[in-house]
Amino acid sequence: MNPLIPITDKPTTPECLYGLHGVMEALDAGKTIDKILLRKDLQAEWSDELHDKARQLGVPVQLVPVQKLDRITRKNHQGVIALLAAVDYYKVDQLVPALFEAGENPFMVVLDGVTDVRNFGAIARTCECAGVSAIVIPERGSVSVNADAVKTSAGALNHLPVCRVSNLVRAVRYLRDSGFRIVGTSDKNAQIYTEADYTGPVALVLGAEDEGISNDVMRLCDDCVAIPEFGNIHSLNVSVAAGVMIYEVVRQRMADNQRVM
């Protein structure tokens, strides 16, 4: 991994904060919060203030039954629990210029709708081994980067920047406008994955196994590629597909005499 961005090791034990004051103080202090769980039938006046502050900071708020909160802690949570992220999130519009300024040839992996923590951990592990610059995920409809994800990644997420964005379409458009070639994976109207050019700045987009890449993101792709499948199932696991695609980028860059690590 490029030493450009220092990454601080995080504990692999799950952490949470509970109660109005604890959660509000964490937001004010700029702690990296994965999401806030709020009791769905809560009538407290402060819930709107909490919603507004979380929205301003890009922290997802999920309405849940009180039983879910009670399973996390039996202490007086007042109907709100903040789950701390196991890693620090990065901003795409800050990371990308820093990579270019450092003379890097950036390689980003964008995950659209990948929710399984085991798949995410496996993808992160491959990304770190292959020298990927960062993973980009959306705030909603995506996996949580929690202690389980770090463990499944074999610690790779302690060394690999993760950018969590409020709008994935806008983030992909930003990458494209910044000079990235956007390559989406699909089995429809696609060329063989080895035929695309990955030697320049590239963002590889992978979708969920059941739904694939969303239409709005796919429309921004410069190339649509597919991995040939000859069996009866026609369904590669997304982490396996990611490994194949990521190392095709590595192969092409090595053939182009580029340093990839």
Look at residues 89, 100, 259, 244 and name the one whose alpha carbon lies nearest to residue 157.
89
Cα separation of 144 and 152, whole Å?
12
At 144-171, the pLDDT tens digits run 888 888 889 999 999 999 999 999 999 9
Residue 153 per-residue DSSP state: T
Residue with tokens 């009866």: 232
Residues 238, 242: Cα–Cα separation, whole Å: 6
CATH architecture of 89-255: 3-Layer(aba) Sandwich (3.40)
* Average pLDDT along the chain: 88
CA 154 and chain centroid, separation: 16
Q: What is the pLDDT of residues 205-248, one digit of tens each?
A: 999 877 889 999 999 999 999 999 888 877 789 999 999 999 99
Query: What are the residues whose beta carbons fall under 8 Å from the beta carbon of 160, sequence distance 6 or more?
Result: 1, 7, 124, 127, 128, 132, 134, 135, 153
Rounded Cα distance, 145 and 11, in Å: 13
Domain boundaries, the chain: 16-84, 89-255
- Residue of 7 and 225 predicted with greater confidence: 225
Record the pTM: 0.81
Angle, alpha carbons 190-202-217 (nearest 5°): 55
Whether residue 134 is predicted with pLDDT greater than 50 in this model: the reply is yes
Produce one character per residue of 177-196: b if its CB has 16 or more CB atoms within 10 Å, e if not. ebebbbbbbeeeebeebeeb
CATH fold for the domain made of 16-84:
60s Ribosomal Protein L30; Chain: A; (3.30.1330)
Q: Are strands 33-39 and 80-84 parallel, antiparallel or unpaired?
A: antiparallel
pLDDT over 80 at 3, yes or no: no
Those residues with Cβ within 8 angstroms of residue 151's Cβ, 6 or more apart along the chain or in another chain: 12, 121
Comparing C-alpha atoms, which of 161, 166, 210, 202 is closest to residue 184?
A: 202
